[in-house]
Chains A and B, each alone.
Chain A
Amino acid sequence: MKETRFNIDENRIKRRIMLNNRVRDLFSVVIVLVMAILLVLLYRIGKDSIGWLDLQFLTSNLSIFPEKAGIKGAIIGSLYMMLVVIPITLILGVATAIYLEEYANDGKVQRFIKINISNLASVPSVIFGLLGLTFFSRMLNLGSSILAGGLTMSLLVLPIVVVAAQEALKAVPSFLREASYGMGADKWTTIWRVILPVALPGILTGAILAMSRAIGETAPLVALGIPTLLMRIPNSLMDNFTVLPIQIYYWTLDSVLTREYTFLAAATIVVLLVTLFILNSIAIVIRNKFQKTF
């Protein structure tokens, strides 16, 4: 027989339900406000870009006449830079994650490395720019070439890829490893044939998100001294280059002098946003498609 009893206060229940409703309302207002700010921004940019964003804009070089100016150079510069960033971050990032998760013993040194990789992912991007300026541009004498920019950007997003790949590897159920080891498979065979195929969607998702960060990032390239005004289209990794976000930066700065630059900047922003939107969508599709394996 239960001895301790207490009376249930019905008013208290009512008060708690009321509080719950008020909290819900508050959060709803906050989300509406955030969305509204975003929509206003998108609307203004979209409106400014109307009439300026067309095929001619995408396929023309820079010009001193705003009507003739295009972002072909920036698009090609961004593409070239990604040609450097993608292989370097994927190979180095996945290899690092495999070493840390599968091969390294869980000693003090390994834990120190793991913590620091996570920390690196939150270092301000301009710091990476300064590192790139010192090391790639000056010490290795790469100047402000595509190679220097790509390597610097690789350093910036590498921790993101490593952390994402580590998480993806960790999520592979241990019974699959056991099954493989139990068949007499060595470690690398197990990683190559069992673990990587299962972890690949997770790795790809992280990699794509890292790539979209690299495409949209400006600060490290500014630190490298990437020219904001470049009339020539780059055609090798050692050429000078500019990228979409730098182009936006330049046109926004100079819109004080030439009013039409506002519209050019807006149009470029739309191009960049659409690119990022597509990349993130691909990442989401990959994640949804493969996460139901188990």
Chain B
Amino acid sequence: MKDNNMDIVYDVKGLNLWYGDNQALKDINMKIEKNKITAIIGPSGCGKSTFVKTLNRMIENVDGVRTSGEILYYGDDIFTNKLKVEELRTRVGMVFQKPNPFPKSIYENVVYGPKIHGIKDKKLLMKITEESLRGAALWDEVKDRLNENAYSLSGGQQQRLCIARSMAVNPEVILMDEPTSALDPVATMKIEELMEDLKKDYTVVIVTHNMQQAARISDKTAFFLNGELIEFDVTSKIFGTPKDQRTEDYITGRFG
């Protein structure tokens, strides 16, 4: 019974995750659709970051993590060896909470991915750099200083550089773990504007602490609480007519 529906990127089935003895995700079932922005909201410690890091297996870098259940990525279980973790992470890019460019030039940051995949042609690399930086709405700001160190950029620019860097390997999905939580409102707005363009080419899963952000940018929203997926629906429904009382309590600000 393989799910061959190409509009479903991720099919999460009965996912459990433990940090040692502490269960962080409880029986998550969720389908993530192609070319949509899926927002994950919930209070601190609800497992939303853990969940998104499980989607590209980054969570396995933490000691003592165990999982059960399966996550199908276009029909392939990511926990089996059919899909190498390096391949999964090439097809699924990630943008982290804190901007984390390499201490190299802006150009070297963008071409890091293409280079490790063996691309050496200078012209092609330059083309990838321009396209990726344009895609992340950063090109006009940095086109004359591609050889400057990435740490000379502002925090918001660094985060867009990280988005450009992940776009440079042509991923199908971009995971974002609270990408604007370390940024000021203006930089946050720029990244939100960018999201609308991103979903034309990518499937985006974004974890956010900020409910207004989820309401503004996402097509679908998942509400996590204490490691459980409480409600997952079209964003307007989650914020308009939630089915679960806990979702309503959270989005109306009664807790969290």
Known: A176-B100, A193-B116, A194-B102. A181 touches B87 (CB 8 A): no
Interface of B is mostly: helix
Instruction: Please tell me if the beta carbons of B100 and A178 are within 8 angstroms of each other in the complex.
Output: yes
What's the nearest-Cβ distance from chain A to residue B229, in Å? 24
Asked if A51 CB lies within 8 Å of chain B CBs, one says no
Instruction: Please tell me if the beta carbons of A182 and B116 are within 8 angstroms of each other in the complex.
Output: no
What's the nearest-Cβ distance from chain A to residue B225, in Å? 26
Minimal Cβ-Cβ distance residue in B for A177: B61
Q: In the assembled complex, which residues on chain B have CB atoms less than 8 Å from the CB atom of A181?
A: 58, 61, 89
Instruction: Please tell me if the beta carbons of A184 and B102 are within 8 angstroms of each other in the complex.
Output: no
Instruction: Please tell me if the beta carbons of B61 and A178 are within 8 angstroms of each other in the complex.
Output: yes
Known: A193-B116, A293-B151, A294-B151. A182 touches B103 (CB 8 A): no
What's the nearest-Cβ distance from chain A to residue B103, in Å? 5
What's the nearest-Cβ distance from chain B to residue A200, in Å? 11
A180 to B102 alpha-carbon distance, docked (Å): 9
Instruction: Please tell me if the beta carbons of B100 and A183 are within 8 angstroms of each other in the complex.
Output: no
Instruction: Please tell me if the beta carbons of A182 and B94 are within 8 angstroms of each other in the complex.
Output: yes
Instruction: Please tell me if the beta carbons of B96 and A183 are within 8 angstroms of each other in the complex.
Output: no
Interface of A is mostly: helix
Asked if A189 CB lies within 8 Å of chain B CBs, one says yes
Asked if A10 CB lies within 8 Å of chain B CBs, one says no
A169 to B93 alpha-carbon distance, docked (Å): 25
Q: In the assembled complex, which residues on chain A have CB atoms less than 8 Å from the CB atom of B112?
A: 180, 183, 185, 193
Contact with A along B160-190 (1 / 0, CB 8 A): 0010011001000000000000000000000
A183 to B166 alpha-carbon distance, docked (Å): 7
A179 to B117 alpha-carbon distance, docked (Å): 15
Instruction: Please tell me if the beta carbons of A179 and B96 are within 8 angstroms of each other in the complex.
Output: yes
Asked if B26 CB lies within 8 Å of chain A CBs, one says no
Contact with B along A258-281 (1 / 0, CB 8 A): 000000000000000000000000
Which residues in chain B, 81-126, are within 8 Å of chain A measured between CB atoms?
A: 86-91, 93-94, 96, 98, 100-104, 112-113, 115-117
What's the nearest-Cβ distance from chain A to residue B66, in Å? 16
Q: In the assembled complex, which residues on chain A have CB atoms less than 8 Å from the CB atom of B87?
A: 184
What's the nearest-Cβ distance from chain B to residue A86, in Å? 27
Interface centre among A175, A177, A182, A194, by most B CB within 10 Å?
A182
A179 to B150 alpha-carbon distance, docked (Å): 14
Interface centre among A178, A179, A186, A197, by most B CB within 10 Å?
A179
What's the nearest-Cβ distance from chain B to residue A59, in Å? 45
Instruction: Please tell me if the beta carbons of B103 and A183 are within 8 angstroms of each other in the complex.
Output: no
What's the nearest-Cβ distance from chain B to residue A46, in Å? 43
A to B CB contacts below 8 Å, 8 in the list: A106-B63, A180-B102, A182-B58, A182-B93, A183-B116, A183-B166, A184-B113, A184-B117
Please list the residues of chain A having a beta carbon within 8 angstroms of any beta carbon in chain B.
106, 175-186, 189, 193-194, 197-198, 293-294
